[in-house]
A and B are shown apart, each in its own frame.
Chain A
Amino acid sequence: MEIFHSLAVRATKNKGEIMSHLLIDKSFKYKIPTQNESLHRDYSYDDKRGYWLNKNSGHPLMHEDNQYKPRTKKEDVETGEDRKGE
């Protein structure tokens, strides 16, 4: 998910752009997330066990220190509490 954050940009109003509502004007803007290729290169999802595993070590993704683990509630933006992978 970190890759998404690195692409995120602070809301900036483009010159000449007229925002009509403060919720739009003050929104946090970020590049539309794309499929993270490195996740699928390093980890695979085990259907039977129901979690992601490191292809090399065999350890669960969530037991390793890596960029994919949710690190704050900020993960809302991607698949967290506001969307749940919607």
Chain B
Amino acid sequence: MLKLEKIEKVNNVNYLLLSDSNDFTTDYVSIELEKRGLEYLRLNRDLLPNFKITWNICNQNLLIESNEDRYLIENDSLLGVYYRAPTYLRETFIKNKSTEDQLKQSQWMSFYRNLLCFDNARWINSPSATFYAENKMIQLKLAKEIGFKIPQTILANNSEHIESLGDPVIIKSLDTAIFTINEYEAFVYTNSVSHDELKKSKLSIAPAIIQENLISKIDYRVTVIGNTVLSVKILNKGQGVMGDWRKEKDDVNFISCELPAPVNYMCCEIVKKLGLSFGAIDLIFYKNEFYFIEINPTGEWAWLVDSAGQKIYEYICDYMVS
């Protein structure tokens, strides 16, 4: 039992931010909560060993102590959680972690997931929903059911059934793919490839998503928070970007825009049906229609604050507070 009566001053936490100290995006949310005068605590996985943490599950209270402060988290008083942490551990490519680091990473990550005990709070997003939603085939199936157009798509570890997709096609990883190649790290973006390239590739070692290539497209980035939809179109010198726009990061503009009402509705629907409260959706406008490409439950948004004037942190706080 925690002897809380012995603790002179405890700060009750109403809003909890689960992040990493290097995740600057979370800074926006901390600043906004502070501005509103709300009681919040940001816990960073990389700094957790600096705190003393004691969680009494019988009393359902979690005490977090630093050198200067004490914080108490209780199910009745915790109102919102902003979860900025991975649900899948993808550092399988790093082999040189110490045993201590391996233990630290796995156990603190589990601590984060166990915080789902605080089920009275509004989560952005619940890691269990994110776990489900971060699967591209599930996303595409659901998007189609909702009424979105989707590109012709196959998941395959061979190139025998790609004729109907046109040539060239899009190839992308089924899950985020980061690995090491000699002294480099490598990240897999979306790429346009020819049938010839696909046929020469040893696809059998891992499945990939192979998609119809929607050439002459315009990319849209849509951020959904609850029922709020904020969208931008992504242009380079006034034109849509060929291929993955992230490769032209310094040259593109993000133009704030309104989507047609039915598209807005479908964006909200897919977020809800995946059990999420937040989603960053990639759409493509092609031949006068919007195509769903994917949704990222832990999508990045901080760059849109300056580049498109979208104060997404305000909506995140609004959602948690409501």
Contacts and interface: CB of A to CB of B under 8 A. Distances in A.
Interface of A: 5, 9, 11, 20-33, 45, 47-52, 60-63, 68-86
A21 B201 contact: yes
A22 B187 contact: no
A73 B244 CA distance: 11
B98 to A, nearest CB: 16
B201 to A, nearest CB: 4
Contacts, number: 174
Contact of B45 (A11, A62, A71, A85): A85
B19 interface: yes
B4 interface: no
Q: Most chain-B CB neighbours within 10 Å: which of A52, A76, A84?
A: A84
A26 B193 contact: yes
B34 to A, nearest CB: 6
Interface of B: 17, 19-28, 30-31, 34, 40-42, 45-47, 50, 66, 68-69, 84-86, 89-91, 171-173, 176-181, 183-189, 191, 193, 197-198, 201-203, 205-206, 208, 221, 246-247, 249, 252, 280, 296, 298-300, 302-303, 305-307
Contact of A82 (B176, B252, B303): B176
Contacts of A23: 171-173, 177, 188, 206, 208
A77 B187 contact: yes
B17 A50 contact: yes
Chain B at the A interface: mostly helix, strand, loop or mixed?
mixed
A47 B187 contact: no
A76 B187 contact: yes
B316 to A, nearest CB: 14
A77 to B, nearest CB: 5
Contacts of B86: 83-84, 86
Contact of B303 (A32, A45, A49, A72): A72
A32 B185 contact: yes
Q: Which of B180, B186, B305 has the most CB of A within 10 A?
A: B186
A26 B188 contact: yes
A10 B252 CA distance: 18
Given A71-B303, A76-B246, A86-B90, A24 B171 contact: no
Nearest to A65: B306
Given A76-B246, A80-B300, 6 more contacts: A22-B193, A22-B197, A27-B188, A31-B185, A63-B31, A76-B300
B45 A21 contact: no
Contact of B185 (A22, A30, A52, A74): A30
A51 B30 contact: yes
Given A11-B186, A22-B193, A62-B27, A84 B20 contact: yes
Nearest to B191: A26
B306 A69 contact: yes
Nearest to A82: B176
Question: By CB atoms of chain A within 10 A, which of B34, B40, B280 has the most?
Answer: B34
Nearest to A29: B184
B115 to A, nearest CB: 15
A30 B247 CA distance: 13
| Residue among B24, B27, B280 facing the most chain A CB atoms (10 A cut-off) | B24
A51 B21 CA distance: 8
A85 B189 CA distance: 19
Nearest to B189: A28
Given A22-B201, A84-B23, A85-B85, A50 B206 contact: no
Given A24-B181, A51-B31, A60-B27, A81 B296 contact: yes
A66 B139 CA distance: 36
B186 A28 contact: yes
A40 B19 CA distance: 19
